[in-house]
Structure formats: structure tokens, C-alpha cells
């Protein structure tokens, strides 16, 4: 995500917000943000939100996610807000909303994600 220019805006217990600026690194052939970039951004924002509620000394891995793409957008930036829906003992359920913020400040909903995360022991 550093290669793409993403940055964490805010991280707190149960929530994480990450932005991704538009560039040719994250766009598809028609000039819009690529769905893979939107999916990765949502996955990471929701994963970091889960990490805030995982046991100490743990990492988290995505077990599965489902994403719905709502709009195609280009220029400006994307903002993904990941949230913990329920932190269980074995899995953490999260969601993420991805919005596009145009140069003029107009916001458009781009994607929604629901995800299952599993805490795992750090191996490094």
C-alpha cells in the first residue's frame, strides 16, 4: 500500500480509516479506480480495525470477504473506513465503506465490504 501512496488517517479501537490517492498505479483501462485496489484498501482498513481488538501478541488474517462495488470513480482519492462489527474469541467480523472524494469535495459511495478475520500468533 505504501507503493500506491495509501496512508492511515485514523486508527482507534474498533475502527481504522485509510486513504488512497488516484494514480495510474491504481486505475484500470477505462481510467477509474481498479476494483482490486478498492478491495485491497477495504480489506486493509477492516483488518486494521480488527487488529485493534485482537489479543495482544497477535496478527490478523482475512478468512473471507465479500465486496459490492457501487460506483466507478476516477481522480481525487478513496477513503476506506473499517469497523469491527463483532469481536469473538476465534473470529472477528468487520465491515468497511469505501467512498470517493472528488477534487471539489463531493463524496460518492464506491464499495461496501463485509469480512471475517482470524487472529493468529505472530511468527516473526
Q: Sort residue 113 into left (φ over 0), alpha (ψ -120 to 50) or beta.
A: beta
pLDDT tens-digit map of 48-102: 999 999 999 899 999 999 999 999 999 999 999 999 999 998 999 999 999 999 9
> Which residue, among 7, 76, 5, 72, has the nearest Cα to 35 in the 3D structure?
72
CB 47 within 8 A of CB 53: no
pLDDT tens-digit map of 14-57: 999 999 999 999 999 999 999 999 999 999 999 999 999 999 98
pTM of the entire predicted model: 0.94
CA 79, 82, 86: angle at the middle one, nearest 5? 165
Amino acid at each position: 500500500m505504501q507503493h500506491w501512496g495509501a496512508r492511515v488517517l485514523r486508527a482507534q479501537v474498533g475502527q481504522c480509516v485509510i486513504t488512497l490517492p488516484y494514480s495510474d498505479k491504481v486505475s484500470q483501462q477505462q481510467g477509474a479506480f481498479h476494483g482490486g485496489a478498492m478491495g485491497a484498501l477495504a480489506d486493509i482498513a477492516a483488518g486494521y480495525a480488527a487488529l485493534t481488538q485482537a489479543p495482544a501478541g497477535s496478527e490478523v488474517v482475512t478468512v473471507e470477504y465479500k465486496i459490492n462495488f457501487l460506483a466507478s470513480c476516477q481522480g481525487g482519492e478513496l477513503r476506506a473506513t473499517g469497523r469491527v462489527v463483532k469481536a469473538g474469541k476465534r473470529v472477528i467480523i468487520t465491515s468497511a465503506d469505501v467512498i470517493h472524494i472528488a477534487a471539489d469535495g463531493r463524496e460518492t459511495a464506491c464499495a461496501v465490504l463485509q469480512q471475517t478475520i482470524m487472529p493468529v500468533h505472530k511468527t516473526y
